[in-house]
Amino acid sequence: MLKNMFKKTYTLLDTKYKKTDEPSVPQGLWRRCNKCGQPIYVDDVKANYYICPKCHGYFRAHAYRRIEMTIDEGTFEEWNKEMPFENPLKFPGYEKKVNATKEKTKLNEAVVTGKGKILGNDAVVAVCDARFFMSSMGHIVGEKITYAVERATAEKLPVIIFACSGGARMQEGIVSLMQMAKTSAALKRHHEAGQLFISVLTDPTTGGVTASFAMLGDIILAEPNALIGFAGPRVIEQTIGQKLPEGFQRSEFLLEHGFVDKIVEREHMKETLASILAMHRKPENAAAVLSAEGAGTGAPSKRAAQRDAWDTVQLSRNADRPTAMDYIDALFDNFMEFHGDRYFKDDGAVVGGIATFKGIPVTVIGQQKGKNTKENLKRNFGMPSPEGYRKALRLMKQAETFGRPVICFVDTPGAFCGMEAEERGQGEAIARNLFEISDLKVPVLSIVIGEGGSGGALAMAVANEVWMMENAIYSVLSPEGFASILWKDSKKAPEASRVMKITAKDLYDLKIIERVIVEDEPASANNMTVIADEIRRGLEEFLAKRLSMTGEELAAERYERFRRM
């Protein structure tokens, strides 16, 4: 009845209603959503993380509301709440405008900073508020963020910044520009001190903030559909007359282009942040929970020795074979996938992220094949592009920063060969991985689960140990390619497979790999539990030994491993 009454009122207003892309939390009891135009009850919006209950559009959350949504009640300690106003350029009318904005918003500046707990995890947080000069970066914003980061470095705490900004503060000119360098420099020191920075991009994050702290997160999260870009759409249109397509510069676009790790809905933000923070706390005496026994010798079974190599090739390529994600799901807990190479794209042929193994945080990366045609198009049949290798390296470097072991699952017919891959430097990307991973100061284990095709496989197998599933293969090129190069006849692939020494047993005997994982029946969803148990025992032994070694010892072990080949 009441609702109907309002409906009538709103119908009358419909002609006057104008849609806008700039949402603000509606005031009063009933308002019309400025995204979908439907009437919404304000209390519903407040109770629903400031999301429209009708269209799921996100209203901009005020800084203190964001803190309420994120920080455990009663734990927030605000820093630098009052900072004296300065007008560095003596800009006419600036002080008056600042005072009016302070009066209107009850904020002192465009960012709120301090320390608090997120589901019990300590963190320093900074939250931008768009109501204050579009949260542009004046010197107080720069100062408060820099101070918060410096104090986090000193107190060995992670930093979370909720970014939202129109860019530079025009009234502060060049002084505003300098805040980009100042905040970035403080984050560099925080990073060098081995501390975590999570950047959360909200609508809109543009201009100088995008070109400084917002894009420097070890992990970059974004709210759905947020506008994120250096030059805003209006600037691009006015400068060079380019019309931008629908969805351009939105979070989803950035995810696809490799600049965002993960899009997180507002209602899941707190638990996601807490989970990431928890996985970045170094566990006390991690090795103590691991058993260094019971893994067996890792030698191949008799059955493996009797199987024809060409049969193994077929098994390694079987569409029913578990993929990297199946192994990740079976072996680890709390897997959180991260996306993107931070340069060009997110490659579906490589998956990676963080997880825990017996409570120990690890980085897991896999070459991912699809299980059907649709998935295979997304996964490019497990053939990584340069951006896939760059994503893998980025995640490994991240693991090194936070002292996490790296476990890689290798399963590729080879690196993608095509024009685009060449244009973006496929050779360079593979070479860079061999170069950088060789010296990584954390344990690296690679397991060939299906096809280990050439350089494309090696780029994720510069490890302290390399294991193979009993029915996996690992080779310099495919038997078909081998036969066609050597004998000008790709039909002689079965013969080639028998002389190439590409099975797990062959490679174990050649001391190219350390362990063969038994497959009593060829690996499939049916025997995944048994297989995972065997890998788990080996992994415990591997980690128990490696977690007691220094970074230098781990790098030296890897160096010697390849040096003797």
Task: Return residues touching Zn ion (CB under 5 A).
Answer: 33, 35-36, 52, 54-55, 57
Cα–Cα distance measured from residue 402 to residue 275, given in angstroms and rounded to the nearest whole number = 15
CB of 61 to Zn ion, least distance (A): 15
Phi/psi of residue 190, each to 5°?
-60, -40
CB of 17 to Zn ion, least distance (A): 12
Nearest distance from residue 33's CB to Zn ion, in Å? 3
The nearest distance, CB 35 to Zn ion, in angstroms, is 4
Q: Which of 386, 392, 466 is nearest to 420 (CA)?
A: 386
Closer residue to Zn ion, CB minimum distance, 250 or 394 = 250
Q: Which is nearer to Zn ion, 35 or 262 (CB)?
A: 35
Nearer to Zn ion, 27 or 239 (CB): 27
φ and ψ at residue 263, rounded to 5 degrees: -95, 130
CB of 267 to Zn ion, least distance (A): 16
Cβ distance 197 to 113 under 8 Å? no
Least separation in angstroms between CB 24 and Zn ion? 13
Pairing of strands 197-206, 228-229: parallel
Q: Which of 414, 388, 381, 383 is nearest to 481 (CA)?
A: 414
Q: Which is nearer to Zn ion, 52 or 125 (CB)?
A: 52
Rounded to the nearest whole angstrom, what is the least distance from the CB of residue 37 to Zn ion in the complex? 7
What is the rounded radius of gyration, in angstroms, for the C-alpha atoms of the chain? 27
Does residue 32 contact residue 39 with C-beta atoms inside 8 Å? yes
CB 213 within 8 A of CB 187: yes
Q: Which of 388, 395, 392, 396 is nearest to 347 (CA)?
A: 388
57 vs 479, beta carbon nearer Zn ion: 57
Between residues 56 and 424, which has the closer beta carbon with respect to Zn ion? 56
CB of 45 to Zn ion, least distance (A): 9
The structure tokens 């439907």 sit at 38
Q: How many CA atoms lie within 13 A of 356 on its CB side?
A: 16
Question: Please, which residue, 19 or 243, has the CB nearer to Zn ion?
Answer: 19
Distance CA 182, CA 179 (A): 5
Of residues 52 and 254, the one with the C-beta less far from Zn ion: 52
